[in-house]
Amino acid sequence: MNPVVLTLFEIVHRWKSSVLVALIVASITGTLTFFSVNSAGYQKEISRNARDIGSNVVILPAGVDQLEYYRRGGYSDRTMSVALIDQLVAHNASLNHLIPMLEREAVCSAGNRSTTARIVGISASIPMPGRPKAPMQRSIPDGEVQLGSTLAEKLGVDRDEPSKVSINGQVFGVSRVNRSNGTWQDAVALMDLIAAQSLFGLTSEISRIEAIECTNEQCERTGLKSDVILANELARITDQATLLRRERMAEARSSIRILSRDNDSLLQNALWALLALSIVGLSSLNSFQRSSEVGVLQAVGYGQGRLVTMFVLRSVMLTIVGAAIGITIGASVSLAHSGPLFAATGKQVLVDWTAVSRISLIATALAAFASGLPAILAAMKNPAELIGREN
């Protein structure tokens, strides 16, 4: 009889043990698939949350008095050329999410109230080539401003009412009153960078550039610290700017990413080990327990090749069925839960078919090896030694 047909008969005859093996394989591969699919979403979510901590690099004009800059809450009257943005991009500096700003103090009025406020022209964040990511800062429509919560309160601007403000005699619509975040941004009016440059007569000038560092690979390769790498890069690009690094913020972001990556890797490795042990254990146990059957089959004329093929086919078939069920359920559940689990990036989670293929192939290879080796050892023995052996 054909080994494939005989194997199918054997699976049906021992259906309880066959179903048990398939369910165990399905449970483990499903769990592994769930976490493999979730891993991509998890890393994206961690990256987004770490990014939202804020920019940890500030590039200022070279002549800025840093003591005065800090004393005034991170504000300076000095400017530099906006062309520095193009230079940073051309040199592929170890930065991402470049956000150029122009800051000035001006009289801001709404109705019969007015106050001197910090006006910030800001552009959408600019990604570096090869580092495309969701924008950290979106553009503000021309002719509109966003008010910090404290400034809006001072001017009597209601969050839920349409309002207009006048800045240096020019009227802008208030598109949004931002929620309080306990920083200097609560007391500013944000507008489009080009609109601010026009308003203050500073075309092609900016006050600073905020960004996020991307120096992990360079640090690991060279052993240098991030501030040294970034300072060296900026010095090669221009002598008209200086760099400030928010050390604690940078270290916090790096620690979050490293910790999440290591924990995710530990969990995945544990699941891979569980998958390997389960499949090897089940397949090997099945082959060893049925050594007496090997003797009977040898006695009726089955050669070593056909015997090994039967045992391997049984394990491989059950593993493939179990893996298909587990992977389908694991991927489906993971995708269904990605939205609630990952508020910022849940809609971007997709099935990693490379990981799914790897799980299927490794599970099948383990089943073939674990069932084939004991079957080969049994088939090499004299049938008389095997017949009558207890299961």
List pLDDT tens digits, range 196-235.
999 999 999 999 999 888 877 677 677 778 888 888 889 9
Mean pLDDT of 332-350: 66
- pLDDT at residue 363 above 90? no
- pLDDT at residue 143 above 70? yes
307: nearest Cα among 377, 375, 370: 375
Three-state DSSP class for 49? helix
Highest mean pLDDT, choosing among 62-66, 173-177, 262-266: 173-177
pLDDT of residue 226: 82
pLDDT of residue 242: 92
Higher pLDDT, 291 or 128: 128
Strand partners, 109: 114, 166
How far, rounded to the nearest angstrom, does the alpha carbon of residue 153 sit from its chain's CA centroid?
A: 38
pLDDT of residue 249: 72
Task: Give residue 136's pLDDT band: very low, low, confident or very high (50, 70, 90).
Answer: confident
- pLDDT at residue 379 above 60? no
Task: Give residue 119's pLDDT band: very low, low, confident or very high (50, 70, 90).
Answer: very high
- pLDDT at residue 390 above 60? no
320: nearest Cα among 271, 265, 266, 366: 366
Q: Please give the torsion angle defined by the CA atoms of residues 21, 23, 28 and 31, in that order, rounded to the nearest 10 degrees.
A: 170
User: Which residues does 347 contact at the CB level (< 8 Å), separation at least 6?
Assistant: 338, 339
pLDDT by residue (tens digit) across 265-289?
777 777 778 777 777 776 666 655 5
pLDDT of residue 350: 64
pLDDT of residue 391: 45
* Cut 0.95: pTM above it: no
How far, rounded to the nearest angstrom, does the alpha carbon of residue 179 sit from its chain's CA centroid?
A: 27
Residue with tokens 């049906």: 12
Q: Which amino acid appears at position 159 of this protein?
A: R
Burial of 202 (0-12, 13-18, 19+ CB in 10 A): middle
User: Which residues does 25 contact at the CB level (< 8 Å), separation at least 6?
Assistant: 278, 279, 282, 318, 319, 321, 322, 323, 326, 363
Element (H, E) at 218: helix 216-222
- How many Å apart are CA 370 and CA 389, to the nearest integer? 21
Highest mean pLDDT, choosing among 2-11, 113-122, 218-227, 253-262: 113-122
How far, rounded to the nearest angstrom, does the alpha carbon of residue 257 sit from its chain's CA centroid?
A: 9
pLDDT by residue (tens digit) across 75-118?
889 999 999 999 999 998 888 889 999 999 999 999 899 999 99
125-134, 160-169, 190-199: the lowest-pLDDT one: 125-134
What is the average pLDDT value for the chain, to the nearest integer? 79
